[in-house]
Amino acid sequence: MKARRVFLGVVGFTLVAGLATVAWFSRDQLGRWLKARAPVGAIENPAAPIAESNVLKLSPQARKNLGLVAKAAKPQSFWRSIQIPGVIVDRPGRSDRGVTSPAVGAVVQVHAFPGDTVKPGDRLFTLRLFSEYLQNTQSELFKATRETQLVKEQKARLAEAAKSGAIPESRIIELDNQIRRQGAAIQAYRQDLLTRGLNPEQIDAVTEGKFVSTIEVVAPPADFRFSIFDFQLNDKNDADPAAATSMVQIENQKSKIENLPAYEIQDLKVDLGQQVQAGQLLSVLANHHSLYLEGHAFKQEAPILEQAARNGWPIQVEFAEDDREHWPALEQSFQIRHLANSIDPDSRTFDFFVPLTNQSRGYEKEGQTFVVWRFRPGQRVRLHIPVDELKDVLVLPSAAVVREGPEAYVFRQNGDLFNRIAVHVLYEDRLNTVLANDGSVTPGLYLAQSAASSLNRVLKAQAASGIRADVHVHADGTVHAAH
């Protein structure tokens, strides 16, 4: 019985092994038989892969949401540049001007305060004179004037006697010499008093014995080309003072500008009642019409700056915190004037200077005129120093180009459609991207000037959804590419 079970087990195992061997060697024929027996529709052909689309469709609302603007591409020249930080500073000898005391005295009245604007000749301070030297000069001027009058009267009395021979002619000659000596002394005293701050009317009063005990300190004369406000010509036929060819035109413009404020009181250096010495600083006047852009460069950048200064290459300037919407366009060319020849021991940088013509406007309040400057000393700037020129290239804003690994793309607008085009980038910085004019973008095509990254993301999402913007379905069911 036991031998029979063993025999049946061996036979079963042999049968199963044989069937498995037959099935292995006939697997291909078995597969074809099963496929032929399968119902229709049970096996589907795999869908063909969708080709990657380079066309994107946007609605007018979407374009407005992205703020898209398209401009025609055109070949041009572009200056490759380096960026150097800088700051706006006062221009020595033009921006600030100190007012000093002409003599020893005490401040008895202050007429202009910080923030006020003044014209040349306006009163700033009234000083009570304590100067013994100034008092002596007035006394000597008065004495010399009286002495001259007396000598002239004496000469008049002796003139007839000299003609008749009653007195020698040498006496008249001696009186003439005395008058000339007194005249020279009077001229010297008058000039001394003028330099001390007295005006001609006050000096004439001194000659009559009316000595001056107080003196007015006034705003000094100013260069008529640099008013504190931007001067707008009322007469269209008038020429710019700097370019006028007629002396009459220059004088007319000078008289107009001199009626405008020339200074702003920046700082008071004395208090009311304070005693001051001759030459002591009383106040600081400011006129920020003419300023400097002071750049801070490292020593290795000196050859680039020297080349730009020597060749007079224009410099692009970015002003931090500049409110361009509420000021006129800044129409001036920036060039390096000079380079400093010393290095700051702390920052290890050297300075270079670019002239800046400021803009201003004023307003009236409580009878006073106040001024607001567009650019202020201490304001930060970025200076783009040209290095070399790239010719026959396409220049786009940096936001108009998107990168994917080694690839770079721009988007051409054609109505509601945007075609993605691969381009070759030659140079890029924070603001601009320079493309090679190699035929990938035909000059004249309208390219999106911003939001390239957003357009590329929308294109990727559109391709992933299986909906292509570059095809459309006609009413008869046929499918065509976008026209």
* Residue that terminates a domain, selected from 263, 284, 305: 284
pLDDT of 212 > 90? The answer is no
Average pLDDT of span 422-451:
92
Single pTM value for the model: 0.65
Q: Within 13 Å and on the Cβ side, how many CA atoms surround 242? A: 5
Share of the chain above pLDDT 90, in %: 40
What pLDDT score does 234 carry?
Answer: 37
Number of other residues whose CB lies within 10 A of the CB of residue 374: 19
- The CATH number covering residue 66 comes to 2.40.420.20
Measuring CA to CA, how many Å separate 229 from each of 47, 48, 121, 329, 370? 74, 73, 18, 16, 10
Mean pLDDT of the chain: 81
- Cα 483 to Cα 472: distance, rounded to the nearest angstrom: 9
Q: Which residues, including other chains, have CB under 8 Å from residue 280's CB and lie 6 or more apart?
A: 100, 101, 269, 270
- Cα 51 to Cα 91: distance, rounded to the nearest angstrom: 64
Residues 276 and 293 in one domain: no
- Cα 279 to Cα 99: distance, rounded to the nearest angstrom: 9
**Nearest 5°: phi and psi at 148?**
-65, -40
Residues 423 and 306 in one domain: no
Instruction: Number of helices (H) and strands (E) in the chain: give both, helices first.
Output: 9, 26
Does any domain span residue 363? Answer: yes
- In the structure, what pLDDT confidence band is assigned to residue 52 with cuts at 50, 70 and 90? low
* Residue that terminates a domain, selected from 253, 284, 315: 284
Residues 62 and 151 in one domain: no
pLDDT of 303 > 90? The answer is yes
Does any domain span residue 50? Answer: no
Residues 266 and 396 in one domain: no
What pLDDT score does 232 carry?
Answer: 43
pLDDT of 244 > 70? The answer is no
pLDDT of 34 > 60? The answer is no
Q: Is 406 left (phi over 0), alpha (psi -120 to 50) or beta?
A: alpha
- Cα 436 to Cα 420: distance, rounded to the nearest angstrom: 16
* Residue that terminates a domain, selected from 338, 367, 387: 387
- The CATH number covering residue 357 comes to 2.40.30.170
Residues 397 and 409 in one domain: yes
Average pLDDT of span 445-454:
92
Give the tokens for residue 112.
């202009």
338 forms beta bridges with 353
Residues 110 and 241 in one domain: yes
Long-range CB contacts for residues 270-273, cutoff 8 Å, separation at least 24: 270/107, 270/125, 271/107, 272/107, 272/108, 272/109, 272/110, 273/106, 273/107, 273/108
Residue 37 CA to its chain's centroid (Å): 83
Does any domain span residue 42? Answer: no
Does any domain span residue 43? Answer: no
Q: Within 13 Å and on the Cβ side, how many CA atoms surround 176? A: 6
**pLDDT tens, 255-276?**
555 556 788 999 999 999 999 9
What pLDDT score does 422 carry?
Answer: 94
Does any domain span residue 47? Answer: no
Average pLDDT of span 353-369:
89
Residue 28 CA to its chain's centroid (Å): 82
Task: Answer for the pair 452, 409: CB distance below 8 angstroms, yes or no.
Answer: yes
- Cα 210 to Cα 145: distance, rounded to the nearest angstrom: 13
**pLDDT tens, 53-107?**
788 888 889 888 988 899 999 999 998 999 999 999 999 888 888 999 988 889 9
Share of the chain above pLDDT 70, in %: 77
- Cα 241 to Cα 251: distance, rounded to the nearest angstrom: 9
Domain count, the chain: 4
pLDDT of 304 > 50? The answer is yes
Residues 171 and 248 in one domain: yes
Residues 342 and 399 in one domain: no
Does any domain span residue 46? Answer: no
pLDDT of 315 > 90? The answer is yes
Average pLDDT of span 184-210:
86
Average pLDDT of span 340-362:
93
Question: Which residue shows structure tokens 């054609």?
Answer: 414
- Which residue from 50, 169, 158 is spatially nearest to 462, judged by alpha carbons? 50
Task: Answer for the pair 78, 395: CB distance below 8 angstroms, yes or no.
Answer: yes
Does any domain span residue 48? Answer: no
Give the least confident one: 28-37, 266-275, 393-402. 28-37
**Strand segments (E) across 68-147:** 70-72, 76-90, 96-100, 105-110, 117-118, 123-129
- Which residue from 62, 53, 58, 61 is spatially nearest to 471, judged by alpha carbons? 53
Q: Is 392 left (phi over 0), alpha (psi -120 to 50) or beta?
A: left
Does any domain span residue 291? Answer: yes
Residues 308 and 335 in one domain: yes
Number of other residues whose CB lies within 10 A of the CB of residue 339: 16
Average pLDDT of span 353-380:
90
Residues 308 and 415 in one domain: no
Residues 304 and 417 in one domain: no
- In the structure, what pLDDT confidence band is assigned to residue 211 with cuts at 50, 70 and 90? confident
pLDDT of 3 > 70? The answer is no
Residues 163 and 278 in one domain: yes
Exposure string (b/e) for 235-262, b if CB count within 10 Å is 16 or more? eeeeeebeebeeeebbebbeebbeebbb
Domain that holds residue 278: 99-284
DSSP annotation of 359 reads -
Give the least confident one: 28-42, 174-188, 197-211, 271-285. 28-42
- Which residue from 279, 256, 321 is spatially nearest to 131, judged by alpha carbons? 279
